[in-house]
């Protein structure tokens, strides 16, 4: 039982000065026990990263528990208390093995679920996915992966223009899996059809999708105009420039979720890495395929994305906190437990210094 005093507590509707009570791993109305003076530091909800491939030199794609653990703990140290492990396109067997292994770690509580980014993606918008492994939606394959996920397959990204894609969107909804529109060259009417069929997320808005045009809005306009849709945004200053990021946040208030899309190089510095079967080079913190044809994920943490929103985009801290926590938590159906500092929710929180740097992280009432 702990009481955090002298804190600036960031709530969805603003910042309040006061105390925060932690009891039994949850936020409480009141508590006895130890008292910690935060000396006026900010307290924000633990970050929820709904799209991340790895970090600290480790990749979720490997399906190895020790790698997944290293990646998750690295991001936890930077404030991500809820992680969805993302997989890039692979063979059917590779994805099956990775989903099985990650489902065990989700059951353990290390991660909050698995995201399949592919393999049903548009070749012309494949980004850092191996085009040789892309394929049309396969409902039987998807059903197998849902089964292997044992309730922990949380999301799948697909291109809605592919044959059978809308049927798979409906299958996903029936299975309790979030369908996300991404890596797509779909026109706006096809994207809207996917959202009507049950898709509720736009994967890394603007990136690897048909761009916004004033005579054909494509998936960008479809996502920003649909109140049912959460739009992911990689706020690293590489994938989306500041002016465009501000535009998205203004166009869809309360529906933009900051993500990292981080790969193994996060926290490791420049060098040569792998993303799935693709060779990746990181130079000056920018990850690209070795041949330079595409950006290959990011090297940021959620703390970086959040701090950049506040200090570079000028986003009010409560709105940035929501974009990094409550919005993705709602999209994932986890907002009854995480995403905001409310009594009864898990005691997942981040203590920040005035410069928005992470001072301490708590998950489930325990300091990390």
Task: Provide the annotated active-site residues.
Answer: 261
Distance CA 139, CA 243 (A): 39
Distance CA 199, CA 136 (A): 17
Return the structure tokens found at 344: 């009864």
Distance CA 50, CA 154 (A): 9
| Whether 194 contacts 165, CB under 8 Å | yes
Instruction: Using CB atoms within 10 Å of the CB of residue 13, give its burial: 0 to 12 exposed, 13 to 18 middle, 19+ buried.
Output: exposed
Residue with tokens 């325990």: 366
Strand order in the sheet with 47-52: 47-52, 80-87, 113-117, 153-158, 178-181, 201-202, 230-234, 256-259
Distance CA 133, CA 106 (A): 26
Distance CA 83, CA 103 (A): 13
DSSP state of 28: E
For the chain, the residue count is: 368
Distance CA 92, CA 17 (A): 52
Distance CA 124, CA 183 (A): 8
């Amino acid at each position: 039982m702990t009481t955090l005093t002298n804190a600036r507590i960031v709530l969805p509707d603003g910042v309040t000065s006061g105390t925060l009570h932690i009891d039994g791993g949850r936020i409480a109305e009141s508590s006895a026990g130890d008292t910690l003076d935060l000396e006026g530091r900010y307290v924000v909800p633990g970050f929820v990263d709904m799209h991340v491939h790895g970090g600290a030199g480790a990749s979720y794609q490997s399906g190895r528990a020790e790698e997944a653990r290293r990646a998750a703990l690295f991001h936890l140290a930077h404030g991500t208390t809820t992680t969805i492990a993302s997989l890039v396109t692979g063979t059917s067997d590779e994805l099956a093995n990775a989903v099985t292994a990650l489902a065990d770690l989700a059951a353990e509580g290390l991660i909050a679920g698995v995201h399949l980014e592919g393999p049903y993606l548009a070749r012309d918008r494949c980004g850092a996915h191996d085009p040789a492994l892309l394929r049309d939606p396969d409902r039987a394959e998807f059903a197998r992966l849902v089964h292997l996920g044992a309730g922990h397959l949380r999301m799948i990204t697909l291109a809605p223009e592919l044959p059978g894609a809308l049927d798979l969107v409906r299958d996903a909804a029936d299975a309790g899996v979030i369908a996300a529109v991404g890596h797509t060259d779909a026109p706006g009417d096809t994207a809207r059809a996917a959202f009507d069929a049950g898709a509720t997320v736009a994967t890394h808005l603007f990136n690897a999708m048909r761009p916004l045009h004033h005579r054909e809005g494509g998936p960008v306009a479809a996502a920003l105009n649909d109140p049912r849709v959460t739009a992911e945004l990689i706020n690293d200053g590489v994938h989306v420039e500041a002016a465009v990021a501000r535009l998205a946040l203004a166009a869809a208030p309360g529906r933009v979720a900051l993500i990292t899309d981080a790969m193994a190089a996060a926290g490791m510095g420049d060098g040569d890495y792998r993303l799935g079967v693709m060779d990746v080079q990181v130079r000056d913190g920018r990850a690209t395929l070795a041949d330079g044809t595409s950006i290959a994920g990011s090297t940021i943490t959620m703390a970086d994305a959040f701090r950049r929103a506040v200090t570079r985009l000028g986003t009010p801290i409560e709105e940035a906190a929501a974009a990094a926590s409550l919005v993705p938590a709602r999209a994932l159906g986890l907002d009854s437990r995480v995403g905001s500092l409310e009594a009864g929710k898990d005691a997942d929180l981040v203590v920040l210094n005035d410069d928005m740097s992470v001072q301490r992280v708590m998950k489930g009432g325990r300091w990390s």
